[in-house]
Amino acid sequence: MRIAVIGGGYVGLVSGACFAEIGHHVTVVESAKEKLDVLINGGVPIYEPGLEGLVHSNVSAGRLQFCANISEGIKDASVIFIAVGTPTRKEDGRANTEYVFNAVRDIAQNVKQSVVLVTKSTVPLGTGDAIGKIIQEINPDVTIDVVSNPEFLREGCAIEDFIKPDRVVVGLQSQNAREKMEQLYEPITKNGYPLLIVSVKSAELIKYSSNAFLAMKVAFINEIANLCESSGAVIDDISKGMGLDHRIGRNFLQAGPGYGGSCFPKDTLALINIAADHDCKATLVEATVKSNDERKAQMIDRVLYACGGSVKGKKIALLGLTFKEGTDDMRDSPSIPLAESLIKHGAIVKAYDPEGMDVARTILPSEICYTNNVSTALHDADVAVVVTEWKEFCGLRPEDFASIMARKVIVDLRNIYDKEEFFAAGFSYYPVGSVPVE
């Protein structure tokens, strides 16, 4: 099938490349010139494992191309995906849908053939209806079926998630849309991955409910981690003991510095507003947001404690800046409030992240010094703080730190090391969710 994907970001580019990989002809429309230039010149503007190779092979095979404007991109498409951003609207926490509606208007003004128009962006309940009305006003003569097909991929393993999804959720209301969407996903669903067909509204809400539920799991385990620290219980044992129960499951039960990224923070806030719009309470989601905000803000206290109450003039090495490993995404990362507080408290901060530093430079305090590798970040440091669980950090041993740091102090916000091993090597070690050793 010929499809167009509007937006060449994390979701648009991964979906576009994966749809091409399973045999469709895909045009990705990207309006940001700097990103489009990279794509047209054979590069990939984001870091996502495996994506560069997938893009190259599908461009070479003639199934994937890029362009700047919607009218050109949608010319021969029978299915058009909208995969533009829906960031938090600063003033009220709602999802900002202006990029979605701009794209819809542009599509409606330019489309000449019947198409299925699919929102892959995460959009509030009722957006599908609003899109239908806009199309009706602008271009009543062309048949456009509005479909919701929310995306569940995780950055860091996005390709695998797309090709082997737990489920594909499709919200639709016409037989034509159903046939097109079934045909589109057939190369995936024939391998046994389920396609769940529901109403447009239900599909829109499945996405928000899933993200809010996972965010709630993370906030929950972080609260239990605090209880462990105060009581002497061990959070990793609690996570294991809970996770072995199939009703609970193991995923998203790892204690850490709080959730971040481009989805959980914005989708929880948006869901609170969506519920309010429908005169419903979202008490659990509100508590999740509050709990996570507090969690992120508290991470500085752990570094202060490890430094005996003050970080003024102390050299702090931040290992990792992205909100999780495997991505260059810095959006709402827990490293942001931590780095800002460290600078405010007078610390001298060196930071290293394998993929996130280019973006970090544009959003973190300018006082931070970035290094090209872990060793340079650790050199002469008083404290090393593990913020992101990059594999590169997981493999380090006590001697890798001891030989270059000024003092043997580690604050591990991801519990990636063996506490006893580091203690035996003379370190003071401050994990999350169990008592420190010093």
Q: Known catalytic residues?
A: 263
71 is a contact residue toward ligand NAD (CB under 6 A) = no
10 and 162 Cβ atoms separated by less than 8 Å: no
Q: Where are the beta strands (DSSP E) in 33-78?
A: 64-67
- Binding residue count for ligand NAD, defined by CB under 6 A: 27
Q: What is the DSSP string of 210-237?
A: HHHHHHHHHHHHHHHHHHHHHHT--HHH
Position closest to ligand NAD via CB: 9
Q: Which of residues 8 and 334 has its CB atom nearest to ligand NAD in the complex? A: 8
Task: Rank residues 323 and 401 by Cβ distance to ligand NAD and give the closer one.
Answer: 323
Distance (Å, rounded) from C-alpha 31 to C-alpha 34? 9
**Count of CB atoms within 10 A of residue 301's CB?**
10
Among 83, 181, 216, 351, binds ligand NAD (CB under 6 A): 83
Instruction: Select from 79, 103, 125, 413 the one that contacts ligand NAD (CB under 6 A).
Output: 103
Among 122, 127, 288, 335, binds ligand NAD (CB under 6 A): 122
Q: Is 81 in the site for ligand NAD (CB under 6 A)?
A: no
Do the beta carbons of residue 329 and residue 261 sit within 8 Å?
yes
149 versus 335: smaller Cβ distance to ligand NAD: 149
Asked if 377 touches ligand NAD (CB under 6 A), the answer is no
Does residue 31 bind ligand NAD (CB under 6 A)? yes
CA 373 to CA 219: how far, in whole Å? 31
Site track 153-172 with ligand NAD (rule: CB under 6 A), x = hit: x-x-----------------
Stretch that binds ligand NAD, among 47-55, 149-157, 385-393, 422-430 (CB under 6 A): 149-157
What are the contacts of 397-405 at 24+ separation with CB within 8 A?
398/422, 398/424, 398/425, 398/426, 398/427, 399/425, 400/374, 400/375, 401/427, 402/426, 402/427, 404/375, 404/378, 404/379, 404/380, 405/317, 405/378, 405/379, 405/380, 405/381
User: Contacting ligand NAD (CB under 6 A), which of 3, 4, 5, 10?
Assistant: 10
Nearest to 257 by CA among 307, 310, 300, 306: 300
The residue within the footprint of ligand NAD, chosen from 206, 263, 387, 410 (CB under 6 A), is: 263
Query: Could you tell me which stretch among 59-67, 151-159, 276-284, 418-426 binds ligand NAD (CB under 6 A)?
Result: 151-159
Interacting residue with ligand NAD among 27, 58, 97, 121 (CB under 6 A): 121
> Applying CB under 6 A, does 7 fall inside the site for ligand NAD?
yes
* Measured CA angle at 196 (ends 194, 198), to 5 deg: 175
Q: Does 84 bind ligand NAD (CB under 6 A)?
A: yes
Look-up of token digits 């046994």: 192
Q: Which two tokens stand for residue 275?
A: 């519920």
Distance CA 163, CA 21 (A): 9
Binding-site ranges for ligand NAD (CB under 6 A): 6-12, 29-32, 35, 70, 83-86, 99, 102-103, 121-122, 151, 153, 155, 262-263
